[in-house]
Amino acid sequence: MKLGVNVDHVATIRQARASKVPDPVEAALAAELAGADGITVHLRSDRRHIQERDLRLLREIVKTKLNLEMAVTDEMTKIAAEIEPHSITLVPEKPDELTTEGGLDIKANMNAIEKLIKKLEGKSIIIGAFIDTDIEQIDCAVKLGLNHIEINTGKYAEKWPEREAEEELEKIKRSVDYALQKELIVNGGHGLDYKNVIPIREITGINELNIGHSIVARAVIVGMYEAVCEMLALIGDF
Ligand code: PXP
């Protein structure tokens, strides 16, 4: 399984002091050096962590793949068109949420997403969306011609290690199987850490996991290189 490292929270620490350090760009370099398959950032409308400066520099220096998580807005579409990251993953955004709270309701946003896709036509950007374990949402992703989906593992992670996590795990498995039948690339992410990722890595067909908070939290103690190596030792293909 591939690992995309989300470096948003390196920027969270920097923004806490409106300082220049730690730099998510340096963190991305260290993550790549450790073997990460991609770097993910979420440029939020409120710019609470990642800034446009980060995105521009990351676009220059990331040697693997840069995935931009973004809301379906005109502002973000313009920025994506200008920066041309390798891929974008559309996410919902609420101003006062601590983190992305659930998958994007593609069904309720079909027109807006269609418009976004049209505006990015001709750019070499792969487009996907972060969704809950919902077959209807997968059908909508197919209708829109999206390249990939990222299945929200947040509900599973919240319940882990309780028994109810099993139910969420089953929903993830069913969604992965269904999306693969529909020839979508299937990624996963949200709330995953060094323990709850173990049952997830057993699911065949998941292309990549996007993991942020737990890796950055560990990196604060052991360093980014080591934190990424440890996660790769758990989920990487060797
Ligand atoms: N995937 C998506 C779509 C997200 O919004 C986030 C959080 O920014 C992640 C993955 C990573 O989640 P976590 O920081 O909990 O690992």
Q: Are strands 2-6 and 38-42 parallel, antiparallel or unpaired?
A: parallel
Q: Is the dihedral of CA 52, 53, 54, 59 positive or negative?
A: positive
Ligand 1 atom closest to Cα of residue 193:
16
With b meaning 16 or more CB within 10 Å and e meaning fewer, what string describes 149-187?
bbbbbbbbbebbeeeebeebbebbbebbebbeeeebbbb
CB 160, CB 197: distance < 8 Å: no
Q: Does the structure show a pLDDT above 90 at 225? A: yes
| 104 Cβ closer than 6 Å to some ligand 1 atom | no
| 133 Cβ closer than 6 Å to some ligand 1 atom | no
Q: Is the dihedral of CA 16, 18, 22, 25 positive or negative?
A: positive
pLDDT over 90 percentage in the chain: 95
CB 166, CB 186: distance < 8 Å: no
* Among candidate residues 68, 39, 85, the one with its CA nearest the CA of residue 212: 39
Query: Ligand 1 centroid to 38 CA: how many Å?
Result: 14
pTM of the model: 0.97
Instruction: Tell me the pLDDT tens digit for each residue of 169-213.
Output: 999 999 999 999 999 999 999 999 999 999 999 999 999 999 999
Instruction: Tell me the pLDDT tens digit for each residue of 25-52.
Output: 999 999 999 999 999 999 999 999 999 9
Ligand 1 atom closest to Cα of residue 130:
3
Ligand 1 atom closest to Cα of residue 214:
16
In eight-state DSSP terms, residue 125 is: -
For range 64-72, the mean pLDDT: 98
* Among candidate residues 43, 44, 32, the one with its CA nearest the CA of residue 4: 32
Instruction: Tell me the pLDDT tens digit for each residue of 130-147.
Output: 999 999 999 999 999 999
Query: Ligand 1 centroid to 190 CA: how many Å?
Result: 4
